[in-house]
Structure 1
């Protein structure tokens, strides 16, 4: 089961054609409508043998879904300044995610926060010389602030804010889509310290026709092409003027790590991480939706209405992603946990819901046939993730998967497997699951 070549082969089969992989590997026959898998007796024996345990709830296991025990390849690559357990998703630009069990902290440590860069970080950064320019057609006058002036002229605020890449979970979509093949770890919730964007903009004067802000950073385009921005996105004025939208210089009381935007970045908690511009050097106040790099075409957009998997969507039928959907993680124990029959399993994790809060978290050990309610804490502040915990019983020896499902304050619930398909593989908020073996 730990043989990486075997794991790689299984992953390729499931990525290319999940239903065919089920049939080839386990002899599973899948009903197209429900996607419930019905393992032949020989297939059940094969899967149980590979897992090293009987599967008590095999009849409930969805078809076309690789058993989570095979999903943890335990591969890692060390990035300077980051925890050695982070997993590199891309190396140009650098992108790396954090395995779920390393996100167990209530407040995400700086070395465990994921990396998602669109360009090459600036070199030879001098915070004392760093300048932030404010301009645009919908600001009364242009202005410029040094980092020292921002700290001196405006009140400081600290909030714990959830940042998640819009493509988190992209690897689970079928048909597969291009882009970084994130699993579940492109998310974190550190404490950020800075000044409110609203205070800075209001000190200059916002015109009545202002509808959007955009940001520019000092990172360089991967191609090296001069004058071309790697990314320049933004947010509507309603989001820009929220109390929690910060121009931040500190994470967890220390300088923001280089790979996460030092010395200055925008932080828009609860929205895609792409709205929180790093190495911040300019903010523009617009009288129209910002049209910077990766604001047009299909970038960071989803179909305005549901589409069939693999379908083509016209640009005009795509909508900009704003608040992220409800989601949850199991951060303890690590997948592959082993316990003895009759022993309760302690579980814990986090849940978040974009601009909303989480109203409930439930767990299941029978592939979603039944659910048990968890204890859920209130967030430290608005837009922070919420911690949950539970104890779970198992009916007897065998292989189990524990699934977690959150419900937001508007009543929306995570889908069990994969949500509606989209051409860029955004917003996968399917249930997180871990493998547990009872001996």
Structure 2
């Protein structure tokens, strides 16, 4: 194939992709070597709505072609006048190529007849961990916590191995299937301020997978206003724009503590309060334990409580963990962790303190966490298939909600019967409800 033919083929492929997001549907079997194929959104029968976030609405749907239950996420297109950028289409294709048991996999892209009708087709998971913890009062057993933590780290290892920072890990972004498989979810599409150029900084925002982003070398400035406050790493709270995968590991530490306590570990309602909670738990930061701390943007402007940063030697340092981990902390900063978790084993506190470490370079990375002796001490991690199962809480409608809906329907019928001359007519009522 000569250059002219190749250019013509590339132009044809780009045209097909543009057509797929500009109102003209691609047929089900139309494929291109790079972009793959787009499904018709009419192939999916909507069952119910399972959630809505800043970046889109998620539905539980039935794939009429395969009979499988899937999650369908409509991508918000506010502010986009020319459809979805080609760079975002490439990002979607990267998501489609990501395959791991412990992340929510994007299986297809579906399009409708309108410019804004673009959907991601994803694996459907019956539970999200945040809703489940709120609904189930019984705390997890140590072996159940290990099972969930192991799966979380396996999924995160896949992301970090592919140079992707999640940037929004939290309990409600962890999904659970009826087979006990934990999956990292929640990818979001970037708005205009997050758009990047060049393959080294592709932002992977789709399915609410947090504010996921690929790493660049050398690292480029990124917004520190990421990660839900309760799970936000100290470097982000202090305004560091050159953060790394270590921000995810801090979030993992917060999730670990939450699974053990059965409630949030650091539930600050402001950045100042969040810092105070962190200091109360592990002590005050300083240049001695976190080189460069005093040069961070907010180090001098935030009011930092003074509390000694206590370091306690581990009684045992298994070679299986510390071999080939040059930067692994040989000391554990237990501080008040022992008071928060009085029944925790030494290895449990060691892993938790290794994750909740101020210095990002000294914080455990995902491979070190996976090799931690916590996972091999008794009790061993439970097999995922043995995790307890629960009804699909997200799809249940409470009795209170059922009664409210019935009351609304009855009132609308009564108002409609009164006629449109009343200020409480059905149309007026509908407008009031909308407002």
Report if TM-score (shorter chain) is over 0.5.
no
- Structure number with greater CO (CA < 8 Å, separation at least 6) is 1
> For the superposition of Structure 1 and Structure 2, which TM-score range results when normalised by the shorter chain?
under 0.3
Task: Give the number of the structure whose residues are more often helix, by fraction.
Answer: 2
Larger radius of gyration: 2
More strand by share: 1
TM normalised by structure 2 equals: 0.24
- The alignment's TM-score, normalised by the length of structure 1, stands at 0.24
